């Protein structure tokens, strides 16, 4: 940062004071000059900052300083960066007028008062700040401690002290102190912004290039933390990325960029591991369940709090040891469903937007009853779409992929997504269920719940890549799932000679 100039204010008699100019340096920058013009007839000092870098004299800002007593005039003007070297007697924040006085008992002018328009002098100060510093890059990060969390992920039980649940305390401070439970006072990144403006260039040709100056911001406004982002946007600040949701463990689960494109993540295994990541999507637009961590997240599953962003209603959960990925899959006997009521906003689980197209996919076991698994999408209790296995769907290691699309009508009040059987007296195994916007990209992850090693990743088309490890946890084999079966793409073994 360049040194800001210092000008001193003095008050003296009008006798002998003539009209004239006083030019002072603006820091170490020779592109600007300060002009002080005193006029004995109207008794004021005209304070200007002039840009002389273009060869002319463009006035950047201007203000007038007047004494209260007309028998005196201001001889010189001064302030240190952002404050006048005088004591303020009174200040009107509405008009911006300050009444100040000269405070020096040793001076004959002690107590002399004058008034100054602080709003205009503030503009001059800001102008000097902008044009007196050298900055090549600037960005900011805003933090917030005000986040809406899904407390069912922490069981949301009654607290020992207040008897209220975490949700109760979050919604009403009279139920308890939110700072005592980490609901407030934990500051997390909310928004990043960057400064966007043209940069200084000495000329259009190489002979005018100045490496000590070229590339600096032409002017600079400090980010005002006390103002909303819309205010700072007027001063060349542009927000870039914004976090919109965190999970209860403090991990970012949803955000967006300046183009209003969202990115979302789902967490499992007690909210420690990412189970799905999607682009061009909100958290309420996606769902995934691989059924591997039900033993880890038993509270969320068996108390009806949902799992994998789905809130299944139906019979008790039963898991099979025969799986498409990992070790577990879901046994569906009479059908289970995820239900949405559009009269009640739910931002914690899958909540498809009406009028938006979605893609749904699942893997169905073909070992017991072939072609038995189906997905039914309803709106207002009326069937919109029945998704069945296609004849061309290949059986891969005992599993077939079930996939289709749906769109909830704008007029819908409720919707249901039902995972069921063609024959009610038979069971079907479902695994790796996913839902996402049709115009989105999504990748999902399956882990070993005992050691948290990555067992499989599933691509945007819901095809898996499998990972095998040795006893020491080293990756030994990678296999990919294709329409023609599972293929090994790499195999590795290590040995230490004894």
Neighbours of 164 (CB within 10 A): 16
Q: Tell me the two tokens of residue 178.
A: 């939110």
pLDDT score of 341 = 83
Whole-prediction pTM = 0.72
Digit-coded pLDDT (tens) for 43-77: 455 555 555 555 566 665 555 554 444 333 333 33
Same domain for 295 and 224? no
Same domain for 240 and 303? no
Q: Contact, 251 vs 268, CB < 8 A?
A: no
In a domain, 4, yes or no: no
pLDDT score of 34 = 45
Same domain for 458 and 364? yes
CA atoms within 13 A on the CB side of 336: 20
Task: Extract the residue ranges of the chain whose pLDDT is less than 50.
Answer: 1-43, 66-89, 109, 299, 302-303
In a domain, 3, yes or no: no
Same domain for 108 and 189? no
Domain count for the chain: 3
pLDDT score of 428 = 86
In a domain, 473, yes or no: yes
In a domain, 478, yes or no: yes
Same domain for 354 and 473? yes
In a domain, 322, yes or no: yes
Same domain for 369 and 488? yes
Instruction: Single out the residue in 72, 105, 131 at which a domain terminates.
Output: 131
Same domain for 470 and 368? yes
In a domain, 34, yes or no: yes
Domain at 440, CATH number: 2.60.120.260
In a domain, 391, yes or no: yes
Instruction: Single out the residue in 131, 160, 195 at which a domain terminates.
Output: 131
Digit-coded pLDDT (tens) for 449-491: 999 999 999 999 999 999 999 988 899 999 999 988 999 999 9
Closest C-alpha among 421, 417, 365 to residue 393: 365
pLDDT score of 76 = 35
In a domain, 1, yes or no: no
Instruction: Single out the residue in 90, 105, 131 at which a domain terminates.
Output: 131
DSSP per residue, 164-202: -BHHHHHH-GGG--GGGGTSSS--EEEEEEEE---B--S
Kind and range of the H or E run holding 485:
strand 485-491
What range does the domain containing 17 cover? Answer: 10-131
CA 450/CA 471 separation, integer angstroms: 13
pLDDT score of 451 = 92
Neighbours of 157 (CB within 10 A): 10
Q: Tell me the two tokens of residue 168.
A: 């109760």
Same domain for 227 and 169? yes
pLDDT score of 212 = 64
Same domain for 454 and 477? yes
Same domain for 349 and 333? yes
Same domain for 207 and 84? no
Q: Contact, 275 vs 455, CB < 8 A?
A: no
pLDDT score of 200 = 78
How many helices (H) and strands (E) the chain has is answered by: 4, 33
Helix (H, G, I), strand (E, B) or coil at 130: helix
Q: In which order are the strands placed within the sheet that holds 29-39?
A: 20-26, 29-39, 44-51, 58-67, 113-117, 97-101, 87-92
pLDDT score of 47 = 54
Same domain for 479 and 348? yes
Reduced 3-state DSSP string for 374-416: EEEEEECCEEEEEECCCCCCCCECCEEEEEEEEECCCCCCEEE
């Amino acid at each position: 940062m360049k040194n800001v100039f210092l000008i001193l204010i003095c008050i003296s008699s009008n006798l002998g004071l003539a009209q004239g100019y006083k030019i002072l340096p603006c820091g170490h920058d020779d592109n600007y000059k300060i002009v002080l013009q005193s006029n004995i007839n109207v008794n004021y000092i005209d304070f200007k900052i002039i840009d002389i870098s273009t060869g002319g004299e463009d006035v950047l800002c201007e203000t007038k300083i007047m004494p209260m007593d007309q028998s005196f005039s201001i001889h010189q003007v001064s302030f240190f960066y952002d404050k006048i070297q005088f004591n303020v007697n009174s200040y009107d924040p509405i008009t911006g007028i300050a009444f100040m006085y000269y405070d020096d008992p040793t001076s004959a002018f002690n107590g002399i008062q004058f008034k100054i328009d602080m709003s205009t002098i503030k503009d001059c100060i800001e102008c000097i700040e902008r044009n007196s510093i050298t900055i090549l890059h600037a960005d900011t990060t805003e933090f917030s401690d005000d986040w809406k969390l899904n407390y069912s992920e922490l069981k949301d039980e009654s607290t020992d002290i207040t008897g209220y649940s975490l949700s109760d305390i979050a919604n009403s401070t009279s139920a308890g102190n939110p700072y005592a439970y980490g609901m407030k006072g934990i500051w997390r990144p909310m928004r990043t912004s960057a400064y966007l403006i043209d940069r200084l260039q000495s000329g259009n040709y190489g002979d005018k290039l100045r490496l000590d100056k070229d590339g600096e911001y032409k002017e600079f406004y400090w980010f005002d933390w006390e103002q909303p982002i819309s205010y700072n946007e007027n001063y060349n600040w542009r927000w870039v990325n914004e976090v919109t949701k965190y999970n209860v463990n403090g991990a970012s689960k949803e955000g967006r960029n300046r183009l209003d494109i969202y990115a979302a993540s789902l967490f499992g295994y007690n909210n420690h591991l990412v189970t799905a990541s999607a682009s061009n999507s909100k958290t309420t637009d996606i769902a995934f369940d691989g059924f591997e961590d039900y033993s880890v997240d038993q509270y969320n599953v068996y108390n009806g709090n949902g799992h994998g962003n789905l809130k299944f209603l139906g019979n008790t959960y039963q898991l099979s040891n025969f799986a498409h990925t990992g070790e577990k899959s879901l046994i569906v006997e009479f059908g289970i469903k995820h239900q949405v009521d559009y009269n009640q906003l739910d931002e914690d689980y899958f909540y498809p937007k009406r009028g938006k197209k979605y893609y749904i996919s699942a893997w169905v076991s073909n070992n017991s009853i072939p072609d038995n698994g189906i997905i039914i999408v309803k709106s207002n209790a009326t069937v919109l779409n029945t998704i069945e296995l296609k004849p061309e769907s290949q059986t891969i290691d005992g599993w077939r992929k079930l996939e289709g699309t749906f769109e909830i009508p704008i007029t819908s009040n409720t919707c249901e997504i039902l995972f069921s059987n063609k024959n009610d007296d038979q069971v079907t195994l479902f695994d790796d269920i996913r839902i996402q916007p049709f115009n989105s990209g999504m990748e999902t992850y399956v882990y070993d719940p005992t050691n948290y090693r990555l067992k499989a990743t599933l691509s945007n088309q819901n095809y898996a890549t499998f990972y095998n490890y040795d006893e020491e946890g080293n990756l030994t084999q990678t296999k990919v799932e294709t329409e023609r079966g599972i293929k090994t793409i790499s195999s590795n073994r290590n040995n230490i000679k004894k």
